[in-house]
Amino acid sequence: MHEVKEVSKVEITYEGKTLTYPVIEGSEGERAINMGSLRKDTKLISYDPGFGNTGSCISDVTFIDGEAGILRYRGYPIDDLANNCTFIEVAYLLINGELPTQEELTDFSRILNRKSLIHEDMRNFFRNYPEHAHPMAILSAMAVSLSSFYPELDRPAEEEVNVAAARLLSKLRTLAALSYKQSIGHPHVYPSSKLTYVENFLNMLFYTPVANYEVDPVTVRAMNKLLILHADHEQNCSTSAVRLVGSSGANLYASVAAGICALWGPLHGGANQAVIEMLEQIHREGLTIDQCIARAKDKNDPFRLMGFGHRVYKSYDPRAKIAKKACEDVLETMGIQDELLDIAVQLEERALNDEYFKERNLYPNVDYYTGITLRAMGFPTDMFTVIFAIGRLPGWIAHWLEQRADKDQRIGRPRQVYTGPTKRKILPIDQR
């Protein structure tokens, strides 16, 4: 990890006393005021809803420049990774810090295949879930249950990190596929040693005894790209949840299960499902593009253009361009004329040329096209967030490992500004 350096100082005057705090700088020029002693010095805390201005850690996993539309994993631009690497190469990069050599990739892939089966007793859990249980509910519960069957992954030794990471990457993919099969009442499909990571995942999802599934290379390439696009995104809600739970000393399984639950929310991993539902509403109600734009500008109208704007990016989300191309490739290969894609493209063109959206930095984000792609591949909407979780897993593992090795990290414990009643006396019950 690169060391931060002190580049200047900031002075704060409070109650006649001037305090000095260092300004630190990261490797990409990002600066922060180190106010770790603020409460000790002043008995004040900073009030920052959503932590949008708060740096919770120092990390060398992912760099984002939201104004310039830059996203890099370990220094590599996201478009280079998506266009030149497989998801497993990127997972190795995030967890180990460097892209693998051919020998390292072969060894890592071999471990993934060898560790892809889950304990047979875990299959009993699936039988007890309701047939239409949401796959994310099953996935989060099964993720934390892994600690009962594989306690050796609780606190992996440094030399076993690759084995531990590969086990979790492989088993969670298997659990995700079984969760889907359970939700539709279909028999479970075992992983195959003859297939790659993504091929295996698709086969476990879509193969049935009465309809042999042929893995399409275009679909595999598109899925690799979608997983890479989601592999990490700095200190987002789910990654922060993984770090927060991990800061208590909780094991990797519990921390990842917390990340899955955080990702489930419609404002986070569920956003691509919201895009599909919006496009379906537009199509169902026969709304014109002009009507959609006008309604989106009307503050009194509940209609919103989902998939536009991002908490971090103030320009075009670099992942959205890659997702759009992957979507077009999949639909073209499958010979699908998707009316929802036509609506999405028209909406994007209008919004990008409308001053209202430009002034507010409302550009398409990664969720805008991924839902259409997943739908074309055959995924139901309640599986979209599960795919997101599989993609985000390498980032969660990387951050859990990084935090564990960071000597400056302490258990997460935000403060608050209390607005409840002041001290009160308890009255006898007959006087209340």
**Which of the residues are catalytic?**
310, 367
* Integer angstrom CA distances of residue 16 from 19, 52, 149, 281, 387: 10, 29, 60, 59, 55
Token digits for 347? Answer: 């909406």
Q: How far is CA 374 from CA 133, 180, 200, 276, 422, in A?
A: 20, 14, 16, 10, 53
**What is the rounded CA–CA span in Å between residue 156 and residue 404?**
11
- Residue 160 CB coordination number (10 Å): 13
CA distance 50 to 54: 9
**For 308, which DSSP code?**
B
Which pair of tokens denotes residue 40? 């000790």
Residues 6+ apart with CB under 8 A from 394: 90, 91, 94, 95, 165, 169, 231, 232
Contacts 24+ apart (CB under 8 A), 113-117: 113/170, 113/191, 113/193, 113/200, 115/163, 115/166, 115/167, 115/170, 115/171, 116/170, 116/171, 116/173, 116/174, 116/191, 116/200, 117/174, 117/190, 117/191
Q: Which residues contact 373 (CB under 8 A, 6 or more apart)?
A: 222, 226, 323, 326, 327, 330, 331
Q: Which residues contact 8 (CB under 8 A, 6 or more apart)?
A: 22, 23
241 to each of 215, 258, 261, 395, how far by Cα in Å?
A: 35, 6, 9, 12
**Cβ atoms within 10 A of the Cβ of 283, count?**
13
Give the whole-angstrom CA distance, residue 299 versus residue 346. Answer: 22
